[in-house]
Amino acid sequence: MVSKKWTALLSVLSVRSVYAEANATQLYGTWSSKSNQVFTGPGFYDPVDELLIEPALPGISYSFTEDGWFEEATYQITSNPQKPECPEASLIFQHGTFELMDNGTLILTPITVDGRQLYSSPCDDDGVSTYTRYNQTETFKSFAMYLDSYHGIYRLDLYQFDGSPMQPLYLAYQPPMMLPTETLNPTETSSSETTGSSLKKRSLRDLVIRNLENKHKTNAVKTNPHKLFLSADTLWYASATMLGIGSIVFLAC
């Protein structure tokens, strides 16, 4: 009969063997945190209209391919103990390549021009969130993938550069649900990693369809910095005013 002491020791050795045998092929798939609401792919970021789409609950998700590509989707809410009514929120999208070093360190290198962040601080920004480019190389000291006996699904533990654990991730999709592994929004000073549909000129029909698809996914509004002062609304009000003045003058005569 095996004592409790030996059972515990075998359990520890089993976990250590998982860490020792960790390799890049174990990362293959889309992994999501416990909320099961945040996933990489087109449901989180629309590269055509460059919109970050807010999930129902906060969480994180990472996807990995077999040939060295990754994608990240993060939705975080930070509470404010001094002002509970003023939480801060951020949505982050990144994708690029990853490399597993000989010592088990995992390095994620994003495509510089494609990263996006939407930051909100409602008590400080008057309800107007800040949308910016985002580029942050991530280093994980180690990782482990194993079957979670409680949930009955595969679990991924990522340990940050200082060894501190991130919240556990669980396998959600395999193959992974990801956007194309290429530069999605190249600038004039950058080129696409792969020549593909991201460089093709979009038709008016495609733009209309995409805008309708995203209509109820986000409250973000894309503004036009070159919008003319004489907009359609301005012309309508001006015309109505002139018509009213003309009617008054006509009746007075």
From 177-181, 205-209, 249-253, the region with the lowest mean pLDDT? 205-209
Q: Is the peptide bond before 47 cis (omega within 30 degrees of 0)?
A: no
pLDDT digit string, tens, across residues 86-102: 888 999 999 999 999 99
* pTM score of the predicted model: 0.70
Residue 240 corresponds to which tokens in the numbers above?
Answer: 């109505």
Q: Where does the pLDDT of residue 8 fall: very low under 50, low under 70, confident under 90, or very high at 90 and above? A: very low
Mean pLDDT, residues 144-168 taken together:
94
- Based on its alpha-carbon atoms, the radius of gyration of the chain, rounded to whole angstroms, reads 25
pLDDT over 80 (residue 155): yes
Rounded to whole angstroms, the Cα distance separating 137 from 184 reads 18
Scored b (16 or more CB within 10 A) or e, 72-110 reads bbbbeeeeeeeeeeeebbbbbbbbbbbebeeebebebeb
Per-residue confidence (pLDDT) for residue 13, from 0 to 100: 38
Q: pLDDT (tens digit, 9 = 90+) per residue, 105-154? A: 999 999 999 999 999 887 877 778 899 999 999 999 999 999 998 889 99
Token look-up 């533990």 returns: 157
pLDDT for residue 9: 40
State yes or no: pLDDT of 2 exceeds 70. Answer: no
The pLDDT tens digits of the residues spanning 22-54 come to 688 999 999 999 999 999 999 999 999 899 999
- Cα angle value 73/50/54 (rounded, 5°): 45
